[in-house]
Amino acid sequence: MRRRLAFLLLLLTLSASAAGAEDFRMPGAAVIPEAERLRITAEGTVARDPWLDAAFALLEDGNPFTARYDLITGANVTARMPFGIPYLFGGRAANHVFCKEPDYVVEPAWQNSPAYYVKGTLYLYGFDCVGFVRWVWEQRTASEWPGCDALLADRGRHVADADDAVTDWKALAVVLQPGDILILRHPGNHVALYIGTLRDYGYTEEEVPALAPWLDHPLVIHSATNASVAGRFDWLIHNGLPKYRCATVTDGGVCVSILGVPADEIPHEVFAQNQRTRYFILPDGTWLTVLLWEGVEDYAWWRGTEEISQTGFPDGSAFDPQAEQGTACPPCAQVIRFAVAQIRQQPIIDRRDPHEQPRTPGPRPGLHGGP
């Protein structure tokens, strides 16, 4: 607790140097006027869900989606790390992400990425897209992550997949549920979690007129390219603890994105860290990035069963993503059997994090990397 208070004091002391910054929003308590709080509480429809509790805990302090989720549902989600979780290509080891909590670990990348990361260069350790979703999965289910390949092939639990051409994003959002997992295959491959729509979080046409046509489009939370998140961590590297000074800035981190917005209707674009970020700006200055659908070769929205996914809070207690989930339901036998079959058929892929300690002996499923 003392370390966390000291870290927050550092933010308060140095935040003046970031005043007026236009490329990122500094973390901190969300300031929502009382009248706006009442409106959001009345109009927001997102329901309390343990998948969201776990996922939002990896956003930065004061993220507007976390703040609105807390207002609407009565949750009290606390950010695990004040600046959120950075992206690191191949980052899968939770014990390295959180071992210095609330400080960050500086480690060399263990391999090159196609666009940005250089083997041996120092970065703040974080999750890639698989690492983030797998962490949420394991907090939520207390079971092993079966792997993207297994979920993509498990057609019996697809809410929608490549057999369904996406022509109506609003209709798709109606059938999705928080915690549904999106697996994409495109030149980079990606995985994310559905969290609802802008309207579910109390956003209106009057509040975000630029986003009015897409208020009912799906939102996902994921670890992905985001130049605004990169700017936040760049500030931390230069103004935070001395050990951060040797680190190279990440190219993103855990954030929320919207789907189904045509590329030619996105108002903002920036090229940073060798990649493009296309985005809208929310009223508090947070960037809402767009996850473009162009180039997607295969995809699925996967939903677990009751055996995989608990629903609600049976004892009325708050979900704690830091606690052991000893009462979670056992994993679905069918999914695990399929995952084992995949393991036996596929070679081990060297995208695994060498720092990660395997939970069980033997081969592990090949997992996709970041976006």
- 8-59 tens-digit pLDDT: 444 443 443 343 344 666 777 677 889 899 999 999 999 999 999 999 999 9
Q: Has residue 342 been placed in a domain?
A: no
- Which helix or strand (DSSP H or E) is residue 157 part of? none
Q: Is the pTM of this model over 0.85?
A: no
Q: How far from 253 is each of 284, 344, 347, CA to CA, in Å?
A: 19, 32, 29
Element (H, E) at 120: none
> pLDDT band at 275, cuts 50/70/90?
confident
In the predicted model, is pLDDT for residue 60 greater than 60?
A: yes
Structure tokens at 191: 């995985």
CA separation, residue 326 to residues 192, 211, 212, 246, 316 (Å): 25, 41, 43, 40, 16
pLDDT > 90 fraction of the chain, expressed in percent and rounded: 64
- Range of the structural domain that residue 38 is part of: 2-301
Per residue, what are the HEC states of 161-189?
ECCCCCCCHHHHHHHCCCCCEEEEECCCC
Task: Determine how β-strand 287-291 pairs with β-strand 252-259.
Answer: parallel
H/E stretch holding 270 reads strand 268-272
Q: Would the pLDDT of 129 be above 70? A: yes
Would residue 336 count as lying in a domain?
no
If you search the block for the tokens 């559905």, which residue do you land on? 194
Taking residues 318-328, report their average pLDDT.
36
Mean of pLDDT values over 159-187: 92
Residue 51 lies in a domain: yes
Q: What is the mean pLDDT of residues 65-78?
A: 97
Q: Is 334 within a domain?
A: no
Averaged pLDDT for residues 342-355: 37
Length of the chain: 371
Q: Of 70, 69, 61, nearest to 30 (Cα)?
A: 61
Report the number of distinct structural domains present in the chain. 1
Q: Which residues contact 66 (CB under 8 A, 6 or more apart)?
A: 30, 56, 59, 77, 79
- Better-predicted residue by pLDDT, 336 or 262: 262
Cis peptide before 102 (omega within 30 of 0): yes
Domain assignment present for residue 320? The answer is no
Q: Is the pLDDT of residue 82 over 70?
A: yes
Amino acid present at 341: A
How much is the pLDDT for 282? Answer: 96
Which amino acid is it at 165? A
The C-alpha R_g of the chain, in whole angstroms, comes to 20
Tell me whether strands 298-302 and 158-161 are parallel, antiparallel or unpaired: antiparallel
- pLDDT grade, residue 308 (50/70/90)? low
Please give the average per-residue pLDDT across 357-368, as a whole number. 34
Q: Using the 8-state DSSP alphabet, how is residue 244 labeled?
A: G
State the first-to-last Cα distance of the chain, in angstroms, to the nearest integer.
35
Give per-residue pLDDT as tens, 175-209.
999 999 999 998 778 999 999 999 999 999 999 99
Instruction: Please indicate, yes or no, if residue 339 is contained in any of the structural domains.
Output: no
Cα gap 111→123, rounded to integer Å: 12
Is residue 370 scored above 50 in pLDDT? no
Question: Is residue 13 a part of any domain in this protein?
Answer: yes
- Structure confidence at residue 369 (pLDDT): 41
User: What's the rounded Cα separation, in Å, for the pair 268 and 279?
Assistant: 5
344 located within any domain: no
Nearest to 123 by CA among 15, 234, 223, 222: 234
The secondary structure element, H or E, covering residue 287 is strand 287-291
Q: Mean pLDDT across the chain, nearest whole number?
A: 80
CB 69 within 8 A of CB 77: yes
Lowest mean per-residue pLDDT among 8-12, 105-109, 126-130, 140-144: 8-12
